[in-house]
Structure 1
């Protein structure tokens, strides 16, 4: 059998590099390719980012919150922060209204001492580096997609005078110090479920609403005045739940949407541990799809779950109506994506398969 020789001159190499985008970081350009990695190159002059300050004042506020109840002490503390640039932390368990208070303060604090504006950010599950990058980009913009270096961030934030509102902060104590040091002339108001600020600034622990404000909240949620018979029961209810706003809203939802009387709910809560008894009443009203979605969200411990992932995990073609129902009943809180409310799900012991 005659042998044949391979003609190497006819072979050509065709190497195709995937490149879905790139970002400039300092003097380097990171090209993002396939899932297997990317390529880092030294940036050419035309590839280097040029950061420019945004027009001041920067106003990155959340939506307004109307009808804030109580919180005069906290509002007074926030007023003081603007003139001293000492940080203020407002901490307390989920459902006490920390986010609502920040949304109110974003529009009702004088900004005469904050020439560079006001910035609000939901800081839940954000690392220190991400928060610093966000704050830097709030006041600066680049001509190309870029990530600022640590030195650029320190220089860019050093002289800014702004009101910074960070909601649901989860950083460690040393990280909080580093965050405050990066913008020493800004007034920071932080909220968190547990105390994060020690040694300086002012710390205020949020508590439940006073009786009068708690009654106002119940009537607002019921969309009607309370009857004389209901009034005595609701006063007892407010004491049982320590004026906790979220719990009071849930009680009103039980009465308004599921036909329970406020007197009946109060009697049930008096017969057992109030919070656990309320959670059980709320849980008993859930439909099977609602239980399935809530159980799935609870598995993620408060981390956001996207629509497509939630549909795949629950087997529901479109979980949006169910999620909206859970949000309306205060089982979930709307963020960028739906998350299980940590104020509720650990207390009722949700397990996989619910």
Structure 2
């Protein structure tokens, strides 16, 4: 069976202040660490800020992944991202001389380095502005590093419900809104939990709605949130809302 149409990515909600702050710091040549737990939307925000910064530096934006990578690994990754030398692994002196000339916004998600190790990365690349993404468990940059800190908190209740409505593709019923309020409290507003909850509600809609309802209301089409009235789902056979632990 061929796959259905790809659903658009959910919107970035309640993160505009952080987005503008990150772009502003990077435009001034500052390095910054975006800290947030898994599911906080950290990677999505990094991707959007990277696009915003596409024209800031002569070597553009370089995206690296720090998962399981040491500082030396990241320097090699940066070298190969900028220079066309696929079969060459430079020795340390050559590597440091090359990366010293790179002028880029370097986005490193899932960073695992902190403290003096991070200082070494920054010192090796004086013409780069780094945007790091890390969990709170990763050691902080040293006080001498000059790295700015931006922390992602959970969404507020209204933004969480708005995100859930976008993911489901229709307005929420009153029961669903109350359920989502409990989810917000239980999840501390983590966006990923609302995206997952939206997938469960779409699955619930499939169980509740017959083929006729799909054809008539476009429940599973790439519809805007207001295209499907909540009364349409309410008229179908009742299916319990998912337990919050699911």
Q: In 2, distance between residues paired with 1:262 and 1:159?
A: 61
Q: Is the 8 A contact 1:97 1:245 kept in 2?
A: yes
Q: In 2, distance between residues paired with 1:176 and 1:66?
A: 33
* Equivalent residue runs for 1:1-354 within 5 Å: 67-109=11-53, 111-112=55-56, 114-142=57-85, 145-194=87-136, 195=138, 196-199=140-143, 200-257=146-203, 264-265=241-242, 269=244, 278=245, 282=246
Query: C-alpha displacement at 1:66, in angstroms?
Result: 6.6
Q: In 2, distance between residues paired with 1:185 and 1:193?
A: 26
Q: In 2, distance between residues paired with 1:222 and 1:66?
A: 10
Q: Is the 8 A contact 1:66 1:104 kept in 2?
A: no
Q: Deviations over 1:23-61 (max 9, x none)?
A: xxxxxxxxxxxxxxxxxxxxxxxxxxxxxxxxxxxxxxx
Query: C-alpha displacement at 1:262, in angstroms?
Result: 9.8
Instruction: Check 1:108–1:67 CA distance in 2 against 1; reply closer, same or farther (3 A cut).
Output: farther
Q: In 2, distance between residues paired with 1:216 and 1:107?
A: 24
Question: Greater Rg, structure 1 or structure 2?
Answer: 1
Query: C-alpha displacement at 1:170, in angstroms?
Result: 0.8
Unaligned segments of structure 1, at least 5 residues: 1-63, 270-277, 283-354
In angstroms, what is the RMSD of aligned CA positions? 2.5
TM-score (norm 2): 0.74
Unaligned segments of structure 2, at least 5 residues: 1-7, 209-237
Q: Secondary structure at the match of 2:133?
A: strand
Q: Secondary structure at the match of 2:13?
A: coil
Query: C-alpha displacement at 1:97, in angstroms?
Result: 1.0
Q: In 1, distance between residues paired with 2:72 and 2:27?
A: 27
Identify the structure with the greater strand proportion: 1
Q: In 2, distance between residues paired with 1:224 and 1:87?
A: 40
Instruction: Check 1:69–1:263 CA distance in 2 against 1; reply closer, same or farther (3 A cut).
Output: farther
